[in-house]
C-alpha cells in the first residue's frame, strides 16, 4: 500500500492516537490509488481504529457501529472505478506527451541552451554556442570537469549536452 505520503501517515497516526473519529475524503482516489489499497485503508480506518469514513462524491458514510454489507460492497465497486479512471488519465497523459513529442514540441523542462516558443517548439538560445564549444572541447579530449568549469556550467549539464549531441549537429546545419 502506498503510505509514503506524509498527510496519509499523519492521519493514520492521529487515528491510532484516537484524535480522529471521522475521515472525510472528497473522492475515493484521495484515500488510495488502487482497489487493494482502498480496501486496506477502509479496514484500517473503520475496523482497526473505529472511525467513520465519509466519501463526499459518492455520498457514502461507513460507520464502524453500523455494519452495512451493501455500503462496503458499493465502496469496493466505486474504488474499482476510481482506479480505472486514474489508469485512463495516466494513459491519456502518456499518449498526449507522445503526440506532442512526435510533433517535435518540447515536453518537460527545456535544455539550458534552448528556449520554447509559444507554439511549444524548442529553438536555440544564447547558450547554444556555449554548448557547441563544450562539444568541441570534449571531442578534443578535455575532461568534463575542466569543460564545465571553464563554461560556467555543471558537469551534469556537460553530460546532458554530450548525450544530446545529435540535436546540436542538426541545428548547426540549419
- Residue 86 corresponds to which cell in the numbers above? 486514474
pLDDT at 137 over 70: yes
| pLDDT for the residue 47 | 86
Same structural domain, 10 and 53: yes
Q: Count the Cβ atoms, other than its own, within 10 Å of residue 100.
A: 14
Task: Name the domain count of the chain.
Answer: 2
32 burial level (CB within 10 Å; 0-12, 13-18, 19+): buried
Where a domain ends, among 102, 122, 157? 102
pLDDT at 160 over 80: yes
pLDDT bin (cut points 50, 70, 90) of residue 173 is very low
**Structural domain of 143:** 114-173
Same structural domain, 64 and 123: no
pLDDT at 131 over 80: yes
pLDDT bin (cut points 50, 70, 90) of residue 112 is low
* Residue 107 resides in a domain: no
Where a domain ends, among 57, 75, 102? 102
* Residue 130 resides in a domain: yes
Which pTM does this prediction carry? 0.48
Helices (H), 103-143: 128-139
Same structural domain, 143 and 97: no
6-33 per-position pLDDT tens digit: 788 899 899 999 999 999 988 877 877 7
DSSP 63-92: -TTS--HHHHHHHHHHHHHHHHHHHHHHHH
Cα–Cα distance, 80 to 33 (Å, whole number): 10
Amino acid at each position: 500500500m502506498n503510505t509514503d505520503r506524509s498527510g496519509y501517515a499523519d492521519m493514520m497516526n492521529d487515528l491510532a492516537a484516537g484524535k480522529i473519529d471521522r475521515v472525510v475524503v472528497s473522492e475515493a482516489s484521495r484515500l488510495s490509488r488502487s482497489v487493494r489499497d482502498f480496501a486496506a485503508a477502509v479496514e484500517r480506518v473503520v475496523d482497526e481504529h473505529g472511525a467513520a469514513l465519509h466519501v463526499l462524491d459518492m455520498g457514502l458514510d461507513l460507520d464502524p457501529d453500523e455494519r452495512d454489507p451493501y455500503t462496503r460492497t458499493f465502496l469496493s465497486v466505486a474504488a474499482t472505478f476510481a482506479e480505472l479512471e486514474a489508469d485512463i488519465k495516466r494513459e491519456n497523459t502518456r499518449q498526449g506527451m507522445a503526440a506532442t513529442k512526435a510533433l517535435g514540441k518540447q515536453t518537460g523542462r527545456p535544455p539550458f541552451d534552448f528556449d520554447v516558443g509559444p507554439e511549444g517548439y524548442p529553438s536555440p538560445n544564447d547558450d547554444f554556442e556555449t554548448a557547441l564549444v563544450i562539444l568541441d572541447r570534449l571531442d578534443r579530449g578535455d575532461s568534463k570537469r575542466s569543460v564545465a568549469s571553464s563554461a560556467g556550467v555543471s558537469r551534469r549539464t556537460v553530460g546532458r549536452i554530450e548525450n544530446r549531441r545529435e540535436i546540436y549537429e542538426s541545428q548547426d546545419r540549419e
